[in-house]
């Protein structure tokens, strides 16, 4: 971490803060002595903000689409954001203030032929200078649904703008196979992932969920933001790498699609149930927010479910698995 030397000019406000993309650092800002000088230190925070994944659709006697992954935005160590976007800029903050963090919930999976629910947005706010919002994953539904990453539609949703991912956060869902004779072997597409588009369905095979993005902000490489798998009458689509739930088929007993993994923003897998068999599709995985700040910054986190720990590179890592605050000073 590089210290930034202050510049002093009598009677004037002077500012010497650098913006270094993807790096965590700090600088000093001093008000001149001529007008009663006051000094404070400015720091930089890097982050990963992942929204909740969308729930999968439960097809009744037909295939349903997988849920899309939650939106994915990153600024740590030049690592990529979702949708093929580059790393974002760090947030500058003073030695007194607070970050407010919202962690998006995963959307519930659909039941008995119903659509899933949209994932919740995750938000990192440092007022008044920065608000980072990652959009909740699209739900699996009859026509698909846009979101951080798109939620897939049912077998008949072949070409639609409804299952698009959000720019610079996630990818689109895959398309359904369509209703084709004579076998009517219908299948649905996979939900979009943070880095990979959901796979299109084939005749008799559900599309796989799109893959997520790997990050080392937590100290080890972890992939998050996988899309949920689409279902079929035959072969079920797998969940995308990064917590996406796989699709299932229910014949005579209740069953459910695979849930997205908690705190990855993974999309829920679809469930293709025969009428009367019961069951539900998978829920989307909840989101997560990480913030890296310099070790010399006096910070605390709340509530206690969230954690603050020392991290490499003379930094400390705040991990938010539930909504809370990071207080500075």
Q: What is the pLDDT of residue 252?
A: 54
If you ran DSSP here, which 8-state letter would residue 184 be given? -
Alpha carbons 63 and 35: distance in angstroms, whole number: 71
What digits encode the pLDDT tens for the residues 281-295? 999 999 999 999 999
| Total-model pTM | 0.87
pLDDT for the residue 181? 53
Q: Please check whether residue 27 is in contact with residue 16, taking contact to mean a CB–CB distance below 8 angstroms.
A: yes
135 and 123 Cβ atoms separated by less than 8 Å: no
Strands (E) in the chain, as ranges, are 26-30, 39-50, 58-60, 72-74, 91-94, 97-102, 122-126, 130-134, 213-215, 222-224, 248-250, 271-273, 288-294, 299-302, 307-311, 315-320, 324-328
**Which residues have CB under 8 Å from 63's CB, separation 6+?**
154, 155, 176, 177, 186, 187, 188, 201, 206, 230, 231, 232, 233, 270, 272
pLDDT of residue 29: 41
What pLDDT, on the 0 to 100 scale, is given for residue 160?
A: 63
The encoded tokens of residue 315 equal 């930094």
- Over the stretch 198-233, which tens digit does the pLDDT of each residue have? 999 988 899 999 999 999 999 999 999 999 999 988
Distances from the Cα of 198 to the Cαs of 110, 164, 168, 223, in angstroms? 19, 10, 16, 16
Residue 59 has a pLDDT of 80
pLDDT for position 150? 87
Position 31 scores a pLDDT of: 36
**Predicted pLDDT at 272:** 86
**Token pair recorded at residue 71:** 């939106």
- Burial class of residue 219 in the structure, from the number of CB atoms within 10 Å of its CB (0-12 exposed, 13-18 middle, 19+ buried): exposed
162 in helix, strand or coil?
helix
Query: Rounded CA gap, 235 and 177, in Å?
Result: 13
In this prediction, the residues of the chain whose per-residue pLDDT falls under 70 are 1-41, 61, 157-162, 179-185, 251-255, 274-278
Per-residue pLDDT tens digits for 257-287:
899 999 999 999 999 876 666 678 999 999 9
Block residue for tokens 């959307």: 107
User: DSSP of 64-126, one letter per residue?
Assistant: -PPPPPPPEEE-GGG---GGGPPPPPPEEEESSEEEEEEPPPPPPPPBTT----PPPPEEEEE
Q: 276: exposed, middle or buried (C-beta count within 10 Å: 0-12, 13-18, 19+)?
A: exposed
Q: Tell me the CB-side half-sphere exposure of residue 284, using CA atoms within 13 A.
A: 51
Q: Among 225, 259, 278, which Cα is nearest to 109's?
A: 259
């Amino acid at each position: 971490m590089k210290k930034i030397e202050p510049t002093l000019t009598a009677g004037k406000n002077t500012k010497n803060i650098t913006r270094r993309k993807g790096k965590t650092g700090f600088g000093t800002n001093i008000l001149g002595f001529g007008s009663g000088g006051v000094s404070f230190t400015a720091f930089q925070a890097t982050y990963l903000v992942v929204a909740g994944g969308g729930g999968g659709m439960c097809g009744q006697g037909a295939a349903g689409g997988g849920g899309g992954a939650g939106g994915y935005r990153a600024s740590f160590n030049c690592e990529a954001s979702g949708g093929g976007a580059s790393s974002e800029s760090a947030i500058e903050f003073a030695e007194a203030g607070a970050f407010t963090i919202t962690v998006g919930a995963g959307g519930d999976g659909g039941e008995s032929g119903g659509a899933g629910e949209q994932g919740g947005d995750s938000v990192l706010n440092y007022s008044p200078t920065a608000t980072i919002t990652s959009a909740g994953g699209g739900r699996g539904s009859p026509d698909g649904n846009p979101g951080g990453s798109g939620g897939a539609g049912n077998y008949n949703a072949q070409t639609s703008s409804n299952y698009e991912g959000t720019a610079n956060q996630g990818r689109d869902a895959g398309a359904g196979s369509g209703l084709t004779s004579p076998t009517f072997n219908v299948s649905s597409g996979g939900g979009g992932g943070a880095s990979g588009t959901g796979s299109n369905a084939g005749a008799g095979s559900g599309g796989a969920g799109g893959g997520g993005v790997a990050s080392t902000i937590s100290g080890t490489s972890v992939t998050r933001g996988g899309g949920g798998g689409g279902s079929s009458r035959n072969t079920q689509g797998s969940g995308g790498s990064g917590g996406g739930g796989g699709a299932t088929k229910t014949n005579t007993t209740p069953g459910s699609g695979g849930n997205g993994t908690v705190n990855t923003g993974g999309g829920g897998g679809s469930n293709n149930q025969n009428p009367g068999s019961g069951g539900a599709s998978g829920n989307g995985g909840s989101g997560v927010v990480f913030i890296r700040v310099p070790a010399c910054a006096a910070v605390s986190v709340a509530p206690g479910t969230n954690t603050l720990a020392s991290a490499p590179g003379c930094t400390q890592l705040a991990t938010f698995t539930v909504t809370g605050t990071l207080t500075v000073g």
